[in-house]
Chain A
């Protein structure tokens, strides 16, 4: 479903992605982890071309993302994305947040969009808040609405960019629960996160990145957590620091 071949990216002279290649099949849940500044967020944002790349190829469901002739809005409308800071549109009600892109991008009618949006809102357990504005919700609730907003576009894949990093610890669970449910339904997911519990529980594969934008590991979850001795020294160092906690 997603294929990356030898992708490199630079900000000026600084290289942020270094020859990254990966493959994500339909229905797979892949967790991307690594220290700050390793290019995790940049990597995930290249998949829907929010971050353009200078070298390499990116294919999503057969569409060449790296090709300048590609209709990016059309591609992006099929790829759901959830951000660290939620990025709900603060001037619109929850319902309008859920429906606006369905109507303006997919061309759905208001009734259809509302029906679809409210169904997704129910899924994340927030129907009672449909007429509120984002600023009236807690962080965890906002992130669940953001997930519902992405889902109401009927995406073929969901990208999560540190979806719980900006949340109060108490609210992390409610967001992860929604994501676990999504994975169980067979949604293709790529998740940048430090939540190793989530990675252990639901991921199929773990990708570990290191500073400079290198993919150091791309291995099955069982191998990643079960056979730490076989990991790269840098990965072991990272895991030893975060796993005891």
Chain B
């Protein structure tokens, strides 16, 4: 019994007060909340910009527009995410007027969101280009404008194709949110590092953080598989190709 008793005792610190009326247990869940919040807001930013930029990269009539979109992708996917975070925190917030007072939470979401937007843009572009060329032609031949062709024909099919890579991106953004500790956002890794310092319970603290990351990732995977099932079209393979 003493072996299991010993293990149980090692986790008791979670119910300790960290000194200001907040237990480590409560702190951990608040930290988990920050992780989820940073990831969720960043994902919304990344999806919005990624879809727009990825779509613009396929608009061949306007060379300037597609060149700008390409520039966006190359800029944000070729700089390490931690470097991007520091650029927002130490450079942009210092030299861009009006950015000085912006909370670090917002800066972290910008950094993570813009970084991921470049990756999502590439997936959206690849998804659009995977569609048979005739789909666009058929839409235009019926009198749709370019905008309508994207809205009613091209993008609805693209999103069905890219649900699997988007699932990976959503999981990546949760994992990448761990860099936010570097700008003092009280998320899971920040909690783990400080608690390890204060309690010397490194093994338990990092195991707990690991489990919470896994739970978050599994929840995303579960949600996306439901989304994929609901978006599935009868008679259409998951590749998004028609029956030809």
List residues of A whose CB falls within 8 A of some B CB: 45, 48, 50, 72-74, 76-79, 81, 83-91, 100-101, 104-106, 132-137, 139, 142, 149-150, 153, 166
Contacts and interface: CB of A to CB of B under 8 A. Distances in A.
Contacts of B132: 85, 87
Contact of B235 (A87, A135, A150): A135
A133 B142 contact: no
Contacts of B119: none
A133 B235 contact: yes
B7 interface: no
Contact of A136 (B143, B157, B235): B235
The listed residue with most A CB atoms (<10 A of its CB), out of B138, B144, B145, B157, is B138
Q: Which 9 A-B pairs have the closest CB atoms?
A: A135-B235, A77-B143, A87-B138, A136-B235, A105-B143, A101-B142, A81-B141, A87-B134, A135-B236
A73 B135 contact: no
Given A83-B134, A87-B132, A133-B233, A105 B142 contact: yes
Contacts of B243: 90, 134-135, 137, 139, 142
B244 A139 contact: yes
Interface string B137-167: 1111111110010001100110010000000
Given A91-B156, A136-B234, 16 more contacts: A73-B144, A81-B142, A83-B137, A85-B134, A85-B244, A86-B244, A89-B138, A89-B139, A91-B157, A100-B152, A101-B142, A104-B148, A104-B152, A105-B142, A137-B243, A153-B142
A89 B233 contact: no
A207 B236 CA distance: 38
Nearest to B137: A50
18 contacts: A50-B141, A73-B143, A76-B140, A81-B142, A83-B134, A89-B153, A90-B235, A91-B157, A100-B152, A101-B144, A104-B148, A105-B142, A106-B143, A132-B234, A133-B236, A134-B236, A135-B235, A139-B243
The listed residue with most B CB atoms (<10 A of its CB), out of A73, A74, A132, is A73
A81 B143 CA distance: 11
Contacts of A166: 244
A106 B143 CA distance: 9
Nearest to A106: B143
Chain B interface residue count: which class? 20 to 34
Contact of A74 (B143, B233, B234): B143
B141 A88 contact: no
Contacts of A142: 243
A48 B140 CA distance: 9
A153 B139 CA distance: 13
Given A135-B236, A135-B242, A142-B243, A83 B138 contact: yes
Contacts of B233: 90-91, 133, 135
A73 B145 contact: yes
A175 to B, nearest CB: 14
B141 A134 contact: no
B143 A87 contact: no
Interface in B190-244: 233-237, 240, 242-244
A50 B240 CA distance: 23
Contacts of A132: 234-235
A94 to B, nearest CB: 11
